[in-house]
Structure 1
Amino acid sequence: MAHGDDRAISRLYDVHSPRLFGLALALVGERADAEEVVLDAFAQAWRNACTFDGSRGSVQTWLSTITRSRALDCIRRRTRRRMANERAGTESSFSVADGEATHSRDASVLDTMLHEELQAQLNGALQLLPPEQREVIELSFLSGASHARVAEQLGLPLGTVKTRARSALRKMRTVLIGATTR
């Protein structure tokens, strides 16, 4: 791939895309966004193939790191977009003619209620996790620490941290999917 062989990226995609899609979906929560994240990750891998160093980790680890980074970028863009829409909704929520609140204010209230409900569901799912899994999730996803940093902070092997995170995300997904189908 580092030499521009497009068959290499095709083989790499075939082998690693299912796992990376699962990671992206767990992070961003929406299929379309997860698909975009994976495509962005492979595009970055193609552009930066010459920077891969096998002595620093496996190809899977390298691609997972790129995917996680692209997923976090997606979440940041989504958050910025939502905040801009909220600001725009607040600024335009009053009619210029008579100063009365319009429909956008109601939409803002609805958005706030939905956000609070989602936050409550996430907190509930977190509380159902065993303490060691909850700690890993809180440090890595809520505080933004890398798995390596979490492993260092907790004095655990990196593989243990990753296994706890994966198990916790699976449990949370099951709980949250159950909550949305009720």
Structure 2
Amino acid sequence: MVDSTFDYHAALSACAQGDPQALQDLYTQEAPRMLALANIMLGDQTVAQNAVHDAFVLVWKNAGSYDARTGSARAWIYSIMRYRSLSLLRRNPAPSSAAPATPGAPPLREDAAAGVAAMLARQPENTRKPVLMAFYNGLSYPDIAARLGCSTAELRNRVRSCLRALRECEPA
């Protein structure tokens, strides 16, 4: 479970100042969830571990570039891990038959994650699958359309439908 009292911004600021304990604290706080997400995205435990390790190295090196005006510190950390994972996927793509799984512990508040996962589970597979393929596998609309055997226009409609349904379940 996420420690709601953990100050991600302060930890990143301390990392920017060269405090190794701050990085250790970030790692202890987020590594298990980041590893779960990377494992879903990459489909290989060893590659996922390497992605998380690389992400924390990048967090350490780039902590000074974090700008709170662009979003939360936690989201910034996850974006680094996500981009690192997508980079690994582009270099070593998974077989096209590999279908993305609905995440069990996405990098959201636990209650929000449960709501999003439940809403995704209720979506028809033909609208859910392209959203997951885009997010977890970093595929473009043409790539997804080719893999699913539909037109790009039809795919855009499917994604739009799924995202609209997710927006409707968004907490106020």
The TM-score bracket by the shorter chain reads 0.5 to 0.7
2:20 matched to 1:6? Answer: yes
Equivalent of 2:128 in 130, 133, 142: 133
SS for the counterpart of 2:92 is: helix
Aligned equivalents of 1:35, 1:71: Cα separation in 2: 10
Aligned equivalents of 2:26, 2:133: Cα separation in 1: 32
Percent sequence identity over aligned pairs: 28
Matching residue's letter, 2:139 = S
Structure 1: gaps (5+ residues) = 83-114, 164-182
1:41 aligned partner: 55
Describe how 1:1-182 pairs up with structure 2 within 5 A.
Answer: 1-79=15-93, 119=97, 122=99, 130-131=123-124, 132-140=127-135, 141=137, 143-144=139-140, 154=160, 156=163, 160=166
Q: How big is each residue's C-alpha offset from its partner over 1:97-156, in whole Å with a ceiling of 9 and x where there is no partner?
A: xxxxxxxxxxxxxxxxxx5xx71x639x9xx973342342244346347xxxx9xx8395
Matching residue's letter, 2:88 = C
Structure 2: gaps (5+ residues) = 1-14, 103-120, 142-155
Q: In 1, are the aligned partners of 2:99 and 2:133 still within 8 Å (CA)?
A: no
**Structure 1 residue ranges (4+ consecutive) displaced by more than 6 angstroms after TM superposition:** none
Aligned equivalents of 2:24, 2:138: Cα separation in 1: 34
TM-score, normalised to structure 2, is 0.55
Aligned equivalents of 2:54, 2:133: Cα separation in 1: 26
Higher relative contact order (Cα pairs below 8 Å, separated by 6+ residues): 2
Distance change (3 Å), C-alpha of 1:134 and 1:42: same
What is the root-mean-square deviation in Å for CA atoms of aligned residues? 3.5
TM superposition shift of 1:51: 0.8
- Higher-Rg structure is 1
Matching residue's letter, 1:44 = L
Q: Which has the higher helix share?
A: 1
> When the two structures are aligned, how many residues end up with a matched partner?
115
Distance change (3 Å), C-alpha of 1:39 and 1:144: farther
Aligned equivalents of 2:52, 2:19: Cα separation in 1: 20
